Structure 1
């Protein structure tokens, strides 16, 4: 029994990059590629059909990628609200890094990169998330379902040394008080 093809949505800074990335990713017969020119097209598609991976570009015009991803994460009308996201950018700044983490972007790849490298990252992410997705899905660093743990109890200090073997034993003869002989 064959597994249905996974849908990879691509929204890049320009149509040439989108086409190139789409062509390389489509080389994997297990993946279906959907290339979008605008965020509105992407959101409209995601309302109707599942997306298994989103590749977006920080360098595209319009709303920044982290805001788009936050909008997807918060939009309850989408079929694939918890979609894994790989973002592309020319450079990473500390504020951008923080924004990407808080938005739930899974990975950021620096451009220029090999389109085959992107394909490998997509394949790895889809493979590694298949089991996790069944168990509830990854929600990003700020969205994890935390397991409730009992409060940490301090371990009482050991009072006796009956089971302690000294590393350097004291080989002197014991002094007995009161026996001066």
Structure 2
């Protein structure tokens, strides 16, 4: 029996870019592509149907992409609350990077890029689960469940009686005066 088609939602900066990306992604017969002109239409669709990957654009008019993704992550009414997200942007700035991580955006691609590269990234996201989905909900910037390390212990200072000969003597030490006997 064949695997059900995966749904890819695309909401880009312009309708032309959305159509171009959708055309290339639709070339994979295992994917169903849904194009959206507004965030409102996307949210309404996500209340009714499941989305397997979301492609959004930081350069859209209106609310920034990271705010839209945060709203999706926090909206309990959506069927695809933990959807993997691939964002597109012209340039990444340090504040944008922090906002994308905080919102739970899985990947950011720099434009201009090949639409086939986007297709490859979508296929890779479908093969590997989203970090957000693996952990059972968004946990903020530290969402990879990293192992806690023990606190570093200070190394005790060496004593003068150690059997260690310094390679370079410390000339800063004060010379002890020689006693005349």
The superposition leaves residues 132-177 of structure 1 with CA deviations (integer Å, 9 ceiling, x where unpaired) of: 95x655747537374897x94989x9xxxxxxxxxxxxxxxxxxxx
The superposition leaves residues 24-83 of structure 1 with CA deviations (integer Å, 9 ceiling, x where unpaired) of: 000001100000000000000000110000000000000000000000000000000000
Where structure 2 has 5 or more consecutive residues not aligned to the other structure, the ranges are: 156-181
- TM normalised by structure 1 equals 0.76
Change (3 A) 1:140 1:119: farther
- TM normalised by structure 2 equals 0.76
**Counterpart in 1 of 2:114?**
114
- Note the C-alpha offset of 1:128: 1.4
Where structure 1 has 5 or more consecutive residues not aligned to the other structure, the ranges are: 158-181
Provide runs of 4+ in structure 1 moved above 2 Å. 135-149, 151-155
Alignment of 1:41-56 (within 5 A): 41-56=41-56
Change (3 A) 1:77 1:29: same
Q: Distance in 1 between matches of 2:142 and 2:44?
A: 24
**Counterpart in 1 of 2:126?**
126
The superposition leaves residues 107-145 of structure 1 with CA deviations (integer Å, 9 ceiling, x where unpaired) of: 000000000000000001111128x95x65574753737
Alignment of 1:70-81 (within 5 A): 70-81=70-81
- Count of equivalent residues: 158
Alignment check: 8 A CA contact 1:106 1:140 kept: no
Q: Distance in 2 between matches of 1:141 and 1:51?
A: 22
